[in-house]
Amino acid sequence: MMVTLTPGSTTLNQLRDIWSTGHAARLDDTCRPGILTAARAVATAAAGEAAVYGVNTGFGKLASVKIAAEDTETLQRNLVVSHCCGVGDALDIPTTRLMMVLKLLSLGRGASGVAMTTIDIIETMLAKGVTPVIPTQGSVGASGDLAPLAHMAASMIGEGEAMFDGTRMATSKAMEKAGISPIILGPKEGIALINGTQFSTACALVGLWGAFDNAAASVVTAALSTDAIMGSTAPLRDAIHTLRGHRGQIEVARAQRAIMEGSEIRESHRDDDTRVQDPYCIRCQPQVTGAAMDLLHFAARTLEVEANAVTDNPLVLVDDGVIVSGGNFHAEPVGFAADQIAVALSEIGSIAQRRVALMVDPNLSFDLPPFLTPDPGLNSGLMIAEVTTAALMSENKHLANPCTTDSTPTSANQEDHVSMSAHAARRLGKMNANLNVILGVEAICGAQGIGFRAPMKTSDALQDVIGELRRDVPE
């Protein structure tokens, strides 16, 4: 399936659909006149005598070196291959394809000055399944994601490696098999391709989507835990949360009330609760996870803007008739968004882990058997499962430390303040994986605890959850 996108107004839902389904993407034809106009401006500059950064000069600290017109093609090619310095594991294919789509959206705004052949080859590679191999380490989010994007650009000119038909091979071979001819880069095209935040933004978006999924799952696991300990649902009353007014808090409380509606376990002690208050990990779930949800929505707004942004350099300002150097490639907004997502992930896991500890601890679990085993002593039950969640929670706390505050000068101090957005975004995958396990263990503990409340049953919704769980995790 081919998805048509409009640069400047593409939504995160559209991008998630492309990422999750593997659909190809192309730009809407309405953006093509703007692309062509900017390309003509670059061609005129390249033929002129005036030095224009990125068009007929060197790069970075070498910007003062003028390049002859006959050498501009070599200049752009040399730029790409010299920046292919990434190391580490290869980025997964769906995220790599998302990065390519984001580059399409940026170039499609008509301020980058690339030729239509550059747009066309990205679209064709997406359609035919030629995916560049992108090493995941090497970007500091300064002049954008230079090294990762250089590996993408290298594939477009037939260099480097690519995945095709499930096999890693030389890009030249992949292109031949797919029937694609590599392009020759014209003036400014190399720098347009390697300047930008598309690697960081793609990784941050994948981290964001995983975080939203985990946050939603945590509402379900918290409901299981609440019934397992015969906790009160009074703190979920809507009036409490509307008095405070935070959207996330209100929505989490509403969702948890709905999930627990009709629970026989809850009804059995509604009028004779012996505990005035449950621990915070039960009572304050809406406040904590709701705040995390609000943070995720804020990050989503930032990343949606960035996904549609022009982030290379220099930019062709067609209306003003100039090509001007700026700093849109600096990925500070992406780094900040990734740091916010990381904090949210850490806190969702932190409060979930305390619910696991609450259920397995015989001093806290309110008449549940120690470590949720019917035969404690002979069996250790879920003792070490809780320890694993503590280890993962602690790891996520360390990973949640901000990355954007860790700037370091690079490129002979020309790039003297960097965002570390790539590192900030990449760690979200590990954090989401850790949180997956914490919530999985909480679900197991909650289901086990609810089992000890038989013959009383939990809500229909939670019984369905337990039924799904028991397909893979028997009692």
Q: Is the peptide bond before 409 cis (omega within 30 degrees of 0)?
A: no
The set of residues, in sequence order, having a beta carbon less than 8 Å from that of 435 and lying 6+ positions away, is 214, 345, 348, 349, 352, 392, 396
Q: Which residues is 135 bridged to in the sheet?
A: 90
Cα dist. 339→197, 256, 427 in Å?
16, 27, 10
What is the C-alpha to C-alpha distance for residues 216 and 293, in angstroms, rounded to an integer? 9
- The residue with tokens 């397992």 is 228
Q: Does the annotation count 280 as an active-site position?
A: no
Catalytic residue among 10, 39, 53, 59: 53
Contact 52, 125 (CB under 8 A): no
CB atoms within 10 A of CB 283: 16
Contact 337, 307 (CB under 8 A): no
Residue 88: closest CA among 146, 31, 143, 148: 148
DSSP 8-class letter at 214 = H
Contact 277, 243 (CB under 8 A): no
DSSP 8-class letter at 183 = P
Residue 360: closest CA among 284, 452, 283, 289: 452
Residue 220: closest CA among 471, 475, 466, 474: 466
Cα dist. 322→42, 45, 371 in Å?
10, 9, 69
* Segments of 39-116 assigned E as strands: 87-90
Residue 409 — φ and ψ, nearest 5°? -70, 145
CB atoms within 10 A of CB 46: 18
What is the C-alpha to C-alpha distance for residues 443 and 221, in angstroms, rounded to an integer? 5
Contact 287, 25 (CB under 8 A): no
DSSP 8-class letter at 24 = E
- Burial (CB < 10 A; 0-12, 13-18, 19+), residue 70, is exposed
What are the residue numbers of the active site?
Answer: 53
